[in-house]
Amino acid sequence: MLDFYLQKEEIEDLQFQNDILVAPTAHTPRKPQHIPYISSSIERQIWRRNASIAREALQEAHYLCEINNKHLTFKSNITNENFVEAHHLIPIKFQNYFSWSLDVPGNIVSLCPNCHRKIHHANKKERKIILKFLYKKYKNALSDYDILVPLDNIYKFYEC
């Protein structure tokens, strides 16, 4: 069953990444945002991710990988920009623990596909290194959106 859900999440993410490329760019004020509507099923709650907000985050990052801006990939045939993917630093499935939305530019990281796979699939030690790096970079933004938590909590979110 676990495998089934992991696959489902990955399929949803592929769809989400495609949606981002064609989504109009949002203009989110840099302050705490209300939690968006959720759809729930018996098995789990699904927090909606807004492709326009992710597009905004990628644009702010100039479509470069936030781990290293030299991680160039290729020009997207839709945006004609360097191809990157959007990743929620604090995973959206932990929205229940927060009073304000996690689906904000301050929590969305622009990553090259390799770094994106790494943050999801690397072993604990390697993942901690990139999480720590991104945490330092995003700390102020997380604070502006009132979703800042200690780094140790972020480590734990990725171990669930």
Strand partners, 88: 108
In the complex, minimum distance from the CB of residue 114 to Zn ion, in angstroms, rounded to a whole number = 6
Minimum CB distance to Zn ion smaller for 98 or for 158: 158
Contact string 52-81 vs Zn ion (x = CB under 5 A):
-------------x-x---x----------
Decide whether 10 or 30 has the Cβ nearer to Zn ion.
10
Q: How far is CA 45 from CA 42, 70, 89, 106, in A?
A: 8, 37, 19, 23
Min dist. Cβ of residue 157 to Zn ion (A): 12
Please, what's the b/e burial string for 27-38 (b: 16 or more CB within 10 A of its CB; e: otherwise)? ebeeebbebeee
Closer residue to Zn ion, CB minimum distance, 5 or 99 = 5
Q: How far is the CB of 153 from Zn ion (least distance, A)?
A: 18
Cα–Cα dist 135/148, whole Å: 10
Q: How far apart are CA 66 and CA 69, in angstroms?
A: 6
| Site residues for Zn ion per CB under 5 A | 65, 67, 71, 87, 112, 115
